[in-house]
């Protein structure tokens, strides 16, 4: 029971950390680089932070997609050797 709980928490951490990192990055982009109200994304701190969090979420799924593609490719290579 305890091992399953640890695995579930680890999966949550692996998803939440990049999203939070992206949100912080989006806010910092607004703070130091963004324009003064005329840009759709970087003119508002809330939108910039949400956009950064969205980018973080996309990168999490992208990384897991690459790993699953590698596993599938390895399985295909092993089947071809038989």
| pTM attached to this predicted model | 0.65
**HSE, side-chain direction, 13 A CA sphere, residue 57:** 7
> Domain ranges in the chain?
37-62
Residue 50 pLDDT: 94
CA 7 → CA 49, 59, 61, 80, distances in Å?
A: 29, 21, 18, 33
Residue 22 pLDDT: 94
**In contact, 57 and 20? CB cutoff 8 Å:** no
Q: What would the mean pLDDT of 14-20 be, rounded to a whole number?
A: 88
Summarised one tens digit per residue, pLDDT across range 26-72 is 999 999 988 876 888 888 889 999 999 999 988 886 656 556 556 65
**HSE, side-chain direction, 13 A CA sphere, residue 79:** 6
Residue 22: CB partners within 8 Å, gap ≥ 6?
Answer: 52, 53, 54, 55, 56, 57, 59
């Amino acid at each position: 029971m305890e091992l399953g709980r640890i695995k579930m928490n680890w999966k949550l951490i692996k998803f939440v950390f990049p999203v939070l990192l992206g949100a912080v990055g989006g806010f910092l982009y607004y703070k130091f680089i963004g324009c003064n109200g005329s840009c759709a994304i970087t003119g508002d701190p809330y939108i910039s932070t949400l956009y950064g969090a969205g980018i973080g979420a996309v990168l999490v799924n992208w990384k897991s997609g690459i790993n699953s593609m590698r596993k599938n490719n390895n399985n295909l290579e092993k089947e071809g050797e038989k």
